[in-house]
Structure 1
Amino acid sequence: MGANRWRQLWHIRLPASLPVLASGIRVAVVVAPIGAVAGEWVGSSKGLGYLMLQTNARMLIDEMFAALFILAAVSVSLYFITDWALRRLIPWENN
């Protein structure tokens, strides 16, 4: 159709690559809070990871599971918010 390389990139290749990028963002948004908590296990004095370590050491299993439930709720909430936003931004993606 006579498009130069810049127009091919902007109008064809970039929009075609956005669904793959969106999949990576969906995975990253779920794994990021888990990584943050694991980082808090190593060296922190506050946060969910620290709370989980302290409650585990004191055998407060109910509080530890409450922290784990909060972590799961945050991860799932972030996933659904990100999924909703990406569906609005990339309407041509096959769902």
Structure 2
Amino acid sequence: MASVFILALMGQISIAMLHLDKARPHIAAMAILTTSIVLIMFLIGASEGPFQPPIYVSSDPIARVLQQVPAPGETPAATASAPAKGI
């Protein structure tokens, strides 16, 4: 989030310096950039906690994958996923 804020600040400064002599393009450019930055910050903030309400993504698929994958250092069961020999 901090990187988006720094990028927004630098963009605002560059646009402000670019349109110093023309008021209407200056206001339009600042409004467009500010609106887009606010939207980006809202989207980042909304998805920052994906497993928490109000935007909830279930963690059940991840839990099922973790149950099937052996832990580091653990030997996987040889018969669980190995194809039968001689067929």
Identify the TM-score tier after normalising by the shorter chain: 0.3 to 0.5
User: Which of structures 1 and 2 has the bigger CA Rg?
Assistant: 2
- In the superposition, the TM-score normalised over structure 1's length comes to 0.36
- In the superposition, the TM-score normalised over structure 2's length comes to 0.38
Q: Which has the higher helix share?
A: 1
